[in-house]
Each structure stands twice: as structure tokens, then as C-alpha cells.
A and B are shown apart, each in its own frame.
Chain A
Amino acid sequence: MNEKGYYGKFGGAYIPEMLYPNVEELRQEYLKIMHDPDFQAEFDQLMRDYVGRPSPLYLAERLSERYGANIYLKREDLNHTGAHKINNTIGQILLAQRLGKKRIIAETGAGQHGVATATVCALKGLECVVYMGAVDIERQAPNVARMKMMGATVVAAESGSKTLKDATNEALRDWINNPVDTHYIIGSAVGPHPYPDMVARFQSIISSEAKQQLLDKKGKLPDYVMACVGGGSNAIGMFYHFLDDENVQLIAAEAAGQGIHSGHSAATSVLGKEGVLHGSRTILMQTADGQVIEPYSISAGLDYPGIGPQHAFLHENKRVKYVSITDDEAMQAGLLLTRLEGIIPAIESAHALAQLEKMKFEKNDDVILCLSGRGDKDLDNYMKYFSF
């Protein structure tokens, strides 16, 4: 990445002038603050005592037996609030405090990032406003309740398709209207520079731990590292410290919804074209006229029409292999993990699990798969799908 936030031709900061001072302030300060020993000490302490890190690297024996390789699950589902999202919100709330911000805004789709943001705002006593698509508010009532209980204001995004992309637009509009006292905690590895890099750095704790954990267990690097990708925050965190290890194959599973070409899909790497979305140049699903196409996935966390700019770059230079998983494949993989290992995964993470079916492993291959979140929030969906 260069100093303007470009990964090859992807990235940058395509933002209106009203956002420039906020984004520029962040760009100038984020690395200084993150490298400050005082910041690092507080971040490490919260990660350990509040989030519960390091998260375990668990050898899933029955799953390994089924696929003929050693499958290690990186258990982000065991974090406080149930997903990897908290790694980033802890980092950004400490940053926002050091920038002197009094008010926090965030966007959320399924509500996991909204909950993680409301959580750190409660922890630090900062005002919190979460934008959520009106449709998602209906679909994700328990997470709306959790945010409210933690004192956050949840604002319905009524524009456009009333889902994640519209919630992101509303959060950006809020930031335009409140440029001085507000920090915007973006939840994925998307947005104008420095967001993709900042989120990747906070989430990179996933791979720094996992790499060491496998070295401790096996004295070697994994052969494969796998994760699901929507905007791409858990995937970039899971890949981060393996990017330079050329013998480690990196695989990202995106949501094909009802089928890549069904018209109900979020398979950006296949269907997307280069363009600008939410402040960065990346790959996104769009019409020939450049209008953003509303994506679809059974998993609200993968239901995003673009991918982060670093992922666009890793896709283009083929360092990471992007694969597409349908709703049905993900749901079956979610049930399989539950029955084999007694772990109910988030439907997002189940997309990565479904890719295991399609891999051709050698007997002693070591595979690390990021179990990015737990499935409690998805119980309704699982119950309906399997008619339990």
C-alpha cells in the first residue's frame, strides 16, 4: 500500500470535500496512535481481559477425519460479543478517544458490528448512534435489542434498499453533518483510506495469534488458510501475517446466494467490475451505467455489493483464491459442524466451512479456518431452513 492508500490501482479516498478533514485527520494520526506504547498497552489489556484473547486454535478432529486433513478452527466465535468484530471496535474506540471525539457512529447489517460498537461505547461512556437498514432491523430484532440495552440509538436507514449499503450511506451522511466531534467506526475492511488499512491492522491479531499457535503445536506454517469474505474484515485479519508466506494457500469464500448467476447473489469477485464504492476504488456489483446492484445472501454479514480494496488487489494478483458458496452449501456446512463438533457457526463462517467439501487435501495438510462468529444470531434462520 502506498501513502495515499492504494493497493495497486485499488483503494484511495474517493470522498466529498466535507469528509476530507475527518479522513485526513485519521490518515495523519492512526499509525502514530497505534504505535504509541500507551495505546498498545491498553489495547493488549482489553484484548486479554475483556475480549478473552488469545482465541483458541482448535483441532476439529471429527471434521479433520471427514476431510482427510488437519482442520484447525480459529475460534473468533468465542470472543466477547460472539465474533471478530470486537477486535476492530476496541481498536477504533481507543483511537477515537485519543482524537478527542465525543460521539461514535457506525453502520451495521446483521447487527454484529453494531453490537460490537455499542459494547465499546458502553465500556468507554461515549454516545453511540448505529445506522441499520429498516429491512435488517426487522430481520435482526435480538441484536437491535442488545444495542439499545447498551445505550445506543439505532436509526433506521430508509433510503434505497434499506440494507447494509444504505446504512453505510446514512452513516457517511451523518459524518458529513457532524464533522468535528464524531468518529465513524467502519466495521469492514472497506471505505476511504485509511480505513481498509486500519481495520486490517486491528483484525490482524487473528493471524498473528494463529500463526504462533500452529508453530507451537506443529512447528510449521499451515498449508491452507481459509475465511469467508463480505467486505472482508475477518478474511484480511486471517490472511494478514501469511501474505508473504508464499507456500501458504489463501482461500476466501464469498456468498453466491441462490447461485452466482441467479440474480440473487453477492459473488463480487465473479460478478463485480472495477468502480468506486463507499470511498474506495475496488470491485463492485454494478449495472453498465455504474449503479450499484443490491446483493443477496442468506447471511446478512456477506450481503455487500463490493469487497475491500486490498481484497480486490489480492484477487487481481491471484495471491488469494476467491470462491463462491451458495446459501444451501453454507447451511449444510453449518449443520455439519454443529453435529460433528458441537459448535453452531455463524452463517457467514459456514461459507468458509462449505469450501472444505470442494478441496483436494493431502493427508497431512494443515488447514486453518477462521470461525469468524457464533451462530446464536442465526438460530431463527437455521430453524426455518431445516424446519426443526
Chain B
Amino acid sequence: MNRLAQLFNNKEDKDILSIYFTAGYPHLDSTLAIAEELEKAGADFLEIGFPYSDPLADGPVIQNSSQVALQNGMTLEVLFGQLKGLRERVSIPVYLMGYFNTVLQYGVERFCKSCAEVGVDGVIVPDLPIYEYEELYEAVFKRYGISNVFLVSPQTSDERIRKIDSLSTDFIYLLSSSATTGKDLKVSEERLSYFQRIKALNLENRVVIGFGISNHESFQQAARAADAAIIGSAFVRQLENEDYLECIPKFIRSIKEG
């Protein structure tokens, strides 16, 4: 059984929290230390972003962390070097998240192979759409056992969601609204009914809600409306502090316990 399935099997009635951060930010070598600290503090699984010069689905906070990470010298080559030690230090599920052009230049097959070698569970590549994935890359991902996670937005039709569900293997990334990352979203009736519509589809895969979740209230609503919730920009903002590692336990507590 893979790490994510295990996590959900043991979850009981806990709200599952996933955290996103950008590799190589704030410092080139901070990637693993942050991952380790997050696990200790109680994060349930992680998305590690690999930076891109033109991150068009991201708002200002993650644009900035990406730019700093690139200036620090982060590349996929460097990241996979750092992640060689991942499974000695981190046991929770880890997904890599980034844009397709960097994967394409690294080599799609080589990328999947590197993911498998270092113990990464899957990837989220927002600008690799389902048609191109199915036509060109699904076989390679499967060969290396790397799960590819697709996004679903409030405008995605039920028919397309079912198609995405059939191509997915771990979870579906449900966007809380059509927005770039880092917008603060208020808990609303409209959003709840969208979450309920998805739930009623009885999908094969777990559903994890992300984008715009920044505090205990929005986390709890999302985590309970689906299987888990992801926090990105609100966490990356914490890393601006000089003592960023020490901020992590407090931040996780504030999200989980309010």
C-alpha cells in the first residue's frame, strides 16, 4: 500500500493537513530541513514546489519564493540531489509540484525515474493537461509508479471530473475557487455547495482541497468537506522570517487547533 493510502487508512477522525513550500527557499539547502520540521510539527503530507521563471497559476507569494529559489541556484538537478536523503529524514507522503517546461527539459522519463529513486510519491504539474498526459506521458508515469495529480476547478464539468478521476491514482486536487494561489478565501455557502457537488460524485480517488486556505477556519471547512486540505502561500509567507524553522510548529498548531 502506498504512503498516502496508508495515511488515509489511519486517519480516524483527524483533519488531514498538507503543506506546500518551494524548494530552495529561503535558502538553497533549506528544503529538507523544512520538510523534516513540518513532519515533526504534525503536517500529514507535503508538496515540494520546484521553481519556474513563469509560474502563471501562482500569486505573488509563490512567484516571489520561486524567483528567490532560482536566484539561489535551485534546479531539478539540484533538488533531486538534495532529495537523495529524503527517506532517511521524512516518512510522510511527498509530492513534487511545478511547471511542465522544467520537467520536459529534465526529460519526462528521467524525471519519473528520479522521483521513484528518491522516494517521491507523485507529482502535480498544473500545466500538463489530461489530453497531453494521456497521449504522451501516462505510460512513463505508470512504469515508474509515479502518481500524477490533476486539478479540478469550480468550472470543471462533472463529465470531465470523471475523466480526471479515471486517470488519477492517488488524489485529485480540488481548487477552492478559480483563482491563482494565495488569495484569501472566505468560508461561504456557495463554496460548500461546490464541495458537496464533488462529494456526491463518489469519486474513486481521494479529494484534497487547496488554494486560498490560510487559517484554522478555512482549513477545517475544507478538510471536512473533502479528505484533506492544502496550505501553500500562507505557509510560504512564514518562511520570510529569519528563524523560519522555529515558526513551523506554531504555524501548524494555529492551523490545526485554531
Q: Does B104 contact A (CB under 8 A)?
A: yes
Q: Which of A163-193 contact B (CB under 8 A)?
A: 165-166, 169, 172-173, 176-177, 179-180
CB atoms of A289 and B156 under 8 A apart:
no
CB atoms of B63 and A276 under 8 A apart:
no
Q: Does A122 contact B (CB under 8 A)?
A: no
Q: Which of B41-87 contact A (CB under 8 A)?
A: 52-57, 59-60, 63, 67, 70, 75-77
- Contact residue among A13, A21, A159, A292 (Cβ-Cβ distance under 8 Å from B156): A21
CB atoms of A17 and B129 under 8 A apart:
yes
Interface centre among B100, B105, B132 (most CB of A within 10 A): B105
Q: Which of A264-283 contact B (CB under 8 A)?
A: 273-279
CB atoms of A289 and B56 under 8 A apart:
no
CB atoms of B155 and A179 under 8 A apart:
yes
Contact with A along B27-49 (1 / 0, CB 8 A): 00000000000000000000000
Contact with B along A8-29 (1 / 0, CB 8 A): 0000111111101100000000
CB atoms of B106 and A17 under 8 A apart:
no
Contact with A along B186-206 (1 / 0, CB 8 A): 000000000000000000000
CB atoms of B127 and A160 under 8 A apart:
no
- Contact residue among A18, A166, A290 (Cβ-Cβ distance under 8 Å from B101): A290
Given A176-B179, A179-B178, A291-B52, A17-B104 contact (CB < 8 Å): no
Given the complex of chains A and B, what is the CA–CA distance between A15 and B132 in angstroms? 11
CB proximity of A156 to chain B, nearest CB, Å: 13
CB atoms of B129 and A290 under 8 A apart:
no
Given the complex of chains A and B, what is the CA–CA distance between A4 and B130 in angstroms? 12
Q: Which of the four size classes fits the interface of chain B?
A: 35 or more
CB atoms of A14 and B132 under 8 A apart:
yes
Given the complex of chains A and B, what is the CA–CA distance between A288 and B152 in angstroms? 31
CB atoms of A286 and B101 under 8 A apart:
yes
Given A21-B155, A173-B56, A290-B131 contact (CB < 8 Å): no
CB atoms of A169 and B101 under 8 A apart:
no
CB proximity of A177 to chain B, nearest CB, Å: 5
Instruction: Report B-chain residues with C-beta under 8 Å of the C-beta of A21.
Output: 153, 155-157
CB atoms of A17 and B53 under 8 A apart:
no
Instruction: Report B-chain residues with C-beta under 8 Å of the C-beta of A179.
Output: 153, 155, 178
CB atoms of A20 and B129 under 8 A apart:
yes
CB atoms of A14 and B53 under 8 A apart:
no
Instruction: Report A-chain residues with C-beta under 8 Å of the C-beta of B156.
Output: 17, 20-21
For A180, the closest partner residue in chain B by CB is: B155
CB proximity of B87 to chain A, nearest CB, Å: 24
Given A14-B132, A15-B127, A176-B179, A292-B152 contact (CB < 8 Å): no
Instruction: Report B-chain residues with C-beta under 8 Å of the C-beta of A276.
Output: 99-101, 104, 127
CB proximity of B184 to chain A, nearest CB, Å: 13
For A288, the closest partner residue in chain B by CB is: B105
CB atoms of A289 and B77 under 8 A apart:
yes
CB atoms of B152 and A17 under 8 A apart:
yes
CB atoms of A169 and B128 under 8 A apart:
no
Instruction: Report B-chain residues with C-beta under 8 Å of the C-beta of A279.
Output: 127
Q: Does B180 contact A (CB under 8 A)?
A: yes
Q: Does B150 contact A (CB under 8 A)?
A: yes
Given the complex of chains A and B, what is the CA–CA distance between A18 and B57 in angstroms? 8
Given A289-B76, A289-B77, A18-B131 contact (CB < 8 Å): no
For A22, the closest partner residue in chain B by CB is: B155
Instruction: Report B-chain residues with C-beta under 8 Å of the C-beta of A173.
Output: 56-57, 59, 180
CB atoms of B102 and A169 under 8 A apart:
no
Given the complex of chains A and B, what is the CA–CA distance between A10 and B127 in angstroms? 15
CB atoms of A17 and B150 under 8 A apart:
yes
CB atoms of B153 and A17 under 8 A apart:
yes
CB atoms of A14 and B54 under 8 A apart:
no
Given the complex of chains A and B, what is the CA–CA distance between A288 and B55 in angstroms? 17
CB atoms of A16 and B179 under 8 A apart:
no
- Contact residue among B63, B131, B178 (Cβ-Cβ distance under 8 Å from A177): B178
CB atoms of B54 and A160 under 8 A apart:
yes
Q: Does B151 contact A (CB under 8 A)?
A: yes
CB atoms of A18 and B70 under 8 A apart:
no
Q: Does B126 contact A (CB under 8 A)?
A: yes
CB atoms of A18 and B178 under 8 A apart:
yes
CB atoms of A4 and B53 under 8 A apart:
no
For B60, the closest partner residue in chain A by CB is: A159
For A23, the closest partner residue in chain B by CB is: B129
Instruction: Report A-chain residues with C-beta under 8 Å of the C-beta of B106.
Output: 289-290
Q: Does B175 contact A (CB under 8 A)?
A: yes
CB proximity of A179 to chain B, nearest CB, Å: 5
CB atoms of A16 and B77 under 8 A apart:
no
CB atoms of A14 and B70 under 8 A apart:
no
For B64, the closest partner residue in chain A by CB is: A159
Instruction: Report A-chain residues with C-beta under 8 Å of the C-beta of B152.
Output: 17
CB atoms of B153 and A286 under 8 A apart:
no
Given the complex of chains A and B, what is the CA–CA distance between A289 and B156 in angstroms? 32
CB atoms of B54 and A292 under 8 A apart:
yes
Given the complex of chains A and B, what is the CA–CA distance between A17 and B125 in angstroms? 10
Write 21 A-B pairs (CB below 8 A) sorted by A numbering: A13-B131, A16-B57, A16-B151, A17-B126, A17-B151, A18-B155, A18-B179, A20-B153, A159-B60, A159-B67, A160-B54, A169-B55, A173-B56, A173-B57, A176-B178, A176-B180, A275-B101, A275-B104, A276-B99, A292-B53, A292-B54
Partner-A contacts on B (CB < 8 A): 52-57, 59-60, 63, 67, 70, 75-77, 99-106, 126-129, 131-132, 150-153, 155-157, 160, 175, 178-180, 183
8 tightest CB-CB pairs across the interface, nearest first?
A290-B105, A290-B102, A17-B151, A21-B155, A16-B126, A289-B75, A291-B53, A290-B101
Beyond A4-B131, A21-B157, A159-B63: 16 further Cβ-contacts under 8 Å? Answer: A13-B129, A16-B126, A18-B179, A20-B155, A21-B153, A159-B67, A160-B53, A160-B54, A160-B67, A176-B178, A177-B180, A275-B104, A276-B99, A278-B54, A289-B105, A291-B53
